[in-house]
Structure 1
Amino acid sequence: MRILFANPNTTVAVTDRIAAVARAAASPGTEVIAVTGAYGVPYIATRAEAVIGGRVALELLAEHAPGCDAAVIAAFADPGIGGARELLSIPVIGMAEAAMLTACMLGRRFSIVTFSTAMGPWYRECVDANGLAARLASIRCVPGGFRDIHTVAEEKADALVAACQAAVADDEADVVILGGAPLAGLADVVADRVPVPLVDGVAAAMRQAEVLAALKPRKATAGTFRAPDPKPITGVPAPLENLFGRRDV
């Protein structure tokens, strides 16, 4: 089985972090392919950046998904997920969606804790888009800057743990999601400091991608995510242009 992780940000070190966590969570024999956006922002934190990230995600998937059994959009809040499901024939998993659905199987209400206040509104819209607002206890964003996006998990670990503890004590969260690809791997490190389950979006997406790939679902020919009618498109890389013209992925 081959699972693609497409990071629509430009930070290769974060992609390496994602890949390490995904490989640790993968079943024996599963191959993880991790790729990084060639343009855009170092990490996506706003709606505007997510629009750019959505295009980057589609380009990465179009180029690298052939030969893969499933793909993961490896940025929290899942930029481009709807378009990817229209165009591709393999299952496409969103990291945030996977984390939230996993959290719903571990408790009644979940909180999302992340490292930047800019992410709060966008994350809330992601929860709403997935129909899970009634299951959301809170979104807590740790304030203040950081030195390096690659090491923000270690730099803000104590503050993130405090936010997780507050989500449990004050917001009545049964489960806490650590939101953002740069936080991949932190859940295992701090699990014993938080009194409820912690969900790592990369690990959750890895396991769900394997399940969906094994189920081999057919590509929808009706409904919301059916393939759109072929249409000419200009100014995009050839693999993405091909997807708009035919359905071979």
Structure 2
Amino acid sequence: MRILLLNPNISVSITERLAQVARSAAAPGTQITAITAPRGVPYISGRAEAQLAGAVVLEMLAEHGPGHDAALIAAFGDPGLWAARELFDLPVVGMAEAAMHTAAMLGQRFSIVTFAPALGHWYQDCVAASGLSSRLAAIRSLTSGFGSVDMVAEEKAEALVKLCDATVREDGADVVILAGAPLAGLAGQLAQKVPVPLVEQVAAGIAQAETLVRLVPMSGALLRRPVAKTSQGLPAALAARIAHADA
């Protein structure tokens, strides 16, 4: 099985972090291809940046998707998720959606804990899009700044533990998700320090992608593919997909 891991931000070091966690979580024989967005921002922190990243996700899938069995959009917030499902003929998993559904199977209510306040509104949209608003206990974020997005997991680990404890005590969370690509891998390191299960977002996404490939063979796009159209200024692979010239 081959899974394409798409990092919709431009940080190569975050891609490497995501890929390391993905390969550790994958079943024997699963191959992970990790790709970094060719343009964009170092980390996505709001709706506008997510909109831009979603378009880049479609371009990355068009260029790198052939030959893969499934794809994982490895940004919490899942930019471009439903558009990708509409356009491409392989299972596309959103890291946030997979983590939240996993959390919902582990407890009655889950909280999302992250590293930047700006992420909250976008994550709220993502919870609603997944139909899980009634299961959400809280979205909590650190309020202090951080030095480097590449090192935020190491720099803020203890502060994130305190935030997890707070949402368990004060919000009644049965499960906590450490959210945001820069925090990939941190759940495993902190699991023994938090009194409820911590969901590892990347592992949840990879496991869900593998499950879909095994259980739901696909012969076409998940949603009804739009009618063929000509386009202008788009990358060649994406233009071919939109024109139905990729068959």
User: Which of 234, 237, 240 does residue 236 from structure 1 map onto?
Assistant: 234
> What amino acid is aligned across from residue 240 of structure 2 in structure 1?
N
Equivalent residue number for residue 160 of structure 2: 160
Is 2:193 the partner of 1:193?
yes
- Report the CA distance between 1:217 and its aligned residue: 3.1
Structure 2: stretches of 5+ with no match in the other structure: none
> What amino acid is aligned across from residue 229 of structure 2 in structure 1?
K
> What amino acid is aligned across from residue 124 of structure 1 in structure 2?
Q
- Report the CA distance between 1:218 and its aligned residue: 2.7
1:198-221 deviations in Å (ceiling 9; x for gaps)? 011111001110111112433567
For the Cα contact (< 8 Å) 1:102–1:199, is it kept in 2? Answer: yes
TM-score, with structure 2 as normaliser: 0.97
> What amino acid is aligned across from residue 104 of structure 1 in structure 2?
A
Identity %: 57
Is 2:203 the partner of 1:203?
yes
Q: Distance in 1 between matches of 2:128 and 2:190?
A: 28
Segments ≥4 residues shifted beyond 3 Å: none
Deviates more, 1:148-157 or 1:11-20: 148-157
1:212-238 deviations in Å (ceiling 9; x for gaps)? 1112433567xx821111111111111
1:6-56 deviations in Å (ceiling 9; x for gaps)? 011000000000000000000111100000011110000010100110011
Q: Distance in 1 between matches of 2:92 and 2:219?
A: 11
Q: Distance in 2 between matches of 1:211 and 1:10?
A: 28
Q: Distance in 2 between matches of 1:247 and 1:21?
A: 36
Equivalent residue number for residue 99 of structure 2: 99
Equivalent residue number for residue 89 of structure 2: 89
1:1-249 matched pairs, under 5 angstroms: 1-219=1-219, 225-246=223-244, 248=246
> What amino acid is aligned across from residue 26 of structure 1 in structure 2?
A
Q: Distance in 2 between matches of 1:28 and 1:216?
A: 20
Q: Distance in 2 between matches of 1:36 and 1:116?
A: 22
Q: 1:219 to 1:77 in 2, by over 3 A?
A: farther
Q: Distance in 2 between matches of 1:84 and 1:51?
A: 13
Superposed CA RMSD in Å reads: 1.3
Q: 1:101 to 1:40 in 2, by over 3 A?
A: same
TM-score, with structure 1 as normaliser: 0.96
1:164-212 deviations in Å (ceiling 9; x for gaps)? 1111000000100001011000001000010100011111001110111
Structure 1: stretches of 5+ with no match in the other structure: none
For the Cα contact (< 8 Å) 1:3–1:70, is it kept in 2? Answer: yes
Aligned length: 247
